[in-house]
Chains A and B, each alone.
Chain A
């Protein structure tokens, strides 16, 4: 299945682009997606180790065990809210 991934600051910087399409086996979960991303872009694991991460699938905030579906849009963000 195809999953669209959107990286916000600062994660996109280690990927080199804001949006990616990832191919995954069906019934993969968010943890599997992140493992795959960390394998391809090792810098992501460093970023995630340094910061808390907000994970959204479509409109919902999710956790690592959330099962992904074909066409899902995963948004990886840094939780921040100043002004």
Chain B
């Protein structure tokens, strides 16, 4: 038996009963925690509650799983993160969202590594966990409050050390792109997890820590932390992220001609959204638990952020060039509890439909023009409160049913999920493959192989990816190899609770890789892994996600791209003329499936499926 026991609280809001289970150690070894174990639990409960396809994502039968990473809350570098998983009401497939901040550390210190929330409360409620105890409390007075107001009230009610994860009005109103928020900006945003929480009449989960997280070898962990901290602080990307955060990416993407602009009709925008403009509104850089990067701006308009994604999607993508206005919209979506990526993508989609005359004032109620800040501000409020035209857009990609059939041609989404980041992927072919195969839909944080940009020497690329590969980022060759490599290491960091900003492959060929993680895991838990067995965890997570999505009916045909990325060449700058060739894309997909060990239909081999399901069946004893 390894050190420490992984505790899961299983909370049934319908009956008001809760119980605590020890997660089988075999599963912890196989999936670590965070995203990995969440996937095991999700597969189990989707099957137990009636089958993936038949579950209503906004019904009481949809499980909502909140899981901290194996290292979350310890002094391991940047170990703040947790995942929230359920059937997504936005995409109707696997829903999974990763978030930082302070909540997950508090959850573990309150005695729980994960919460499985089932059923639906009869009245607005919140969950309070402390000292290994679980209480379901009334939340009538909190219903209708913004995400920040709700946290302030709960903090005051439960005193110092209480950290909340809450929904805002968007989650309460079952907006399909509603987020779960903790702090002013940290969001489990992707896939509408906030709407799942709202459907359960659950306003918040409050964790009050106090119990130390069990660590097998504290001194060793401290030593490793100091060593890794020193190593990471020497990294240029870590230093720069600590100075300007992710907004630094805008200027580079914009220069290349790779910024999604006006719903990807264009590919570059104004320089007024460069990082230096944020500095005028930023008075401090903030961090999550145990973070050594400090990438988050505290803005002088009362919020935190924005990130590069928000700058792109609530800026260039909807034609807004004023940084002050973008920051204001950033603060608004966070306060209302919305996913900035989905909102920016869906509004841009609607704007293009309006531009093309496919939708008119009778539907939109008033003109919907690029760059109209006041209109966008009001529309975002309407989305969160499901008013008027906003009520239609609150359906996210499912709003297609209100629009003419050809509207689908202008939607920048994959598998029903709007693209997460502002990078136009038509140039870097591995980026395109990545969002096409990502298990939760169009998302860069599942596998973006950012090293494509660096023009690394062949020997460095070979060392990282395990064999020689084509250095040309615009070719279709070997992209399966590098996307699969990125899939695996990102799945491992998500399962450990570590931030991608210190993970090898995300903006740097250096940072922390498998060997570093093996050392951290050993110090934390006494569990020994080799780099290869740890990568095997990543592979297992990817297999499990593929199996979950297969149960939703997804096939190879769903691993695809928005029509525009195939058919419309990029219009300007260095990327001009680039698009994704449909035939070559199929070649990349074959290559990717081979790297993953899946068959040509993208199916996980039977033996691996059996092994996974055998392990997950251990949860039946819980």
Contacts and interface: CB of A to CB of B under 8 A. Distances in A.
A18 B450 contact: no
Nearest to A47: B236
B309 A83 contact: yes
A52 B454 contact: yes
Residue among B239, B453, B573 having the largest count of chain A Cβ atoms under 10 Å: B453
Given A59-B573, A59-B574, A80 B237 contact: yes
Interface string A44-69: 00000011101010011100000000
Contact of B453 (A13, A50, A81): A81
B205 interface: no
A52 B508 CA distance: 11
B615 interface: no
B255 A83 contact: no
Nearest to B247: A9
B421 A83 contact: yes
A77 B276 contact: no
Contacts of A10: 236, 239-240, 243
B251 A83 contact: no
A54 B455 CA distance: 10
Residue among B255, B275, B444, B572 having the largest count of chain A Cβ atoms under 10 Å: B255
A79 interface: yes
Interface in B307-325: 308-309
A79 B246 contact: no
Given A9-B244, A10-B236, A10-B239, A83 B445 contact: yes
Interface of B is mostly: helix
Contacts of B572: 59
B246 A82 contact: yes
Nearest to B576: A59
A72 to B, nearest CB: 15
Given A59-B573, A59-B574, A52 B253 contact: no
Contacts of B363: none
Interface string B441-460: 00011001010111110000
Interface residues of A, number: 21
A54 B309 CA distance: 22
A76 to B, nearest CB: 10
A77 B255 contact: yes
Contact of B258 (A9, A59, A61, A81): A81
B290 interface: no
A80 B453 contact: yes
Contacts of A59: 572-574
B428 interface: yes
Contacts of A82: 246, 249, 308, 444, 448, 450, 500, 506-507
A33 B447 CA distance: 38
A78 B252 contact: yes
Nearest to B234: A50
A52 to B, nearest CB: 5
B423 A83 contact: yes
A81 B275 contact: no
A36 interface: no
Interface string B401-427: 000000000000000000011110000
Contacts of B309: 83
B248 interface: yes
Contacts of A81: 249, 252-253, 258, 423, 428, 431, 448, 450, 452-453, 507
Given A81-B253, A83-B249, A9 B450 contact: no
A25 interface: no
Contacts of B236: 10, 50-51
A76 B362 CA distance: 48
Nearest to A9: B248
Residue among B309, B420, B454, B572 having the largest count of chain A Cβ atoms under 10 Å: B454
Residue among A51, A56, A80 having the largest count of chain B Cβ atoms under 10 Å: A80
A83 B308 contact: yes
Contact of B252 (A13, A50, A60, A77): A77
A9 B246 CA distance: 11
Interface in A5-33: 8-10, 13, 18
Given A79-B453, A80-B450, A8 B240 contact: no
Interface string B229-242: 00000001101100
Contacts of A52: 454-456
A52 B455 CA distance: 8
Nearest to B448: A83
Contacts of B423: 81, 83
A75 B236 CA distance: 19
Interface string B254-285: 01001000000000000000011000000000
A78 B309 CA distance: 18
Nearest to A61: B574
A80 B276 contact: no
B308 A56 contact: no
B338 to A, nearest CB: 18
Contacts of B454: 52, 79
A9 B275 contact: yes
B455 A80 contact: no
A64 to B, nearest CB: 14
Contacts of A51: 236
Contacts of B421: 83
Given A82-B500, A83-B308, A83-B444, 11 more contacts: A9-B251, A54-B252, A54-B255, A56-B574, A61-B574, A75-B255, A79-B252, A80-B248, A81-B252, A83-B246, A83-B423
Interface of A: 8-10, 13, 18, 50-52, 54, 56, 59-61, 75, 77-83
Can you list the 3 inter-chain pairs with the closest CB atoms, starting with the nearest?
Answer: A83-B421, A83-B444, A79-B453
Interface of B: 236-237, 239-240, 243-244, 246, 248-249, 251-253, 255, 258, 275-276, 308-309, 420-423, 428, 431, 444-445, 448, 450, 452-456, 500, 506-507, 572-574
25 contacts: A9-B243, A9-B251, A13-B243, A50-B236, A51-B236, A52-B455, A56-B255, A59-B573, A59-B574, A75-B255, A78-B252, A79-B453, A79-B454, A80-B453, A81-B423, A81-B431, A81-B452, A82-B249, A82-B448, A82-B506, A83-B309, A83-B420, A83-B421, A83-B422, A83-B444
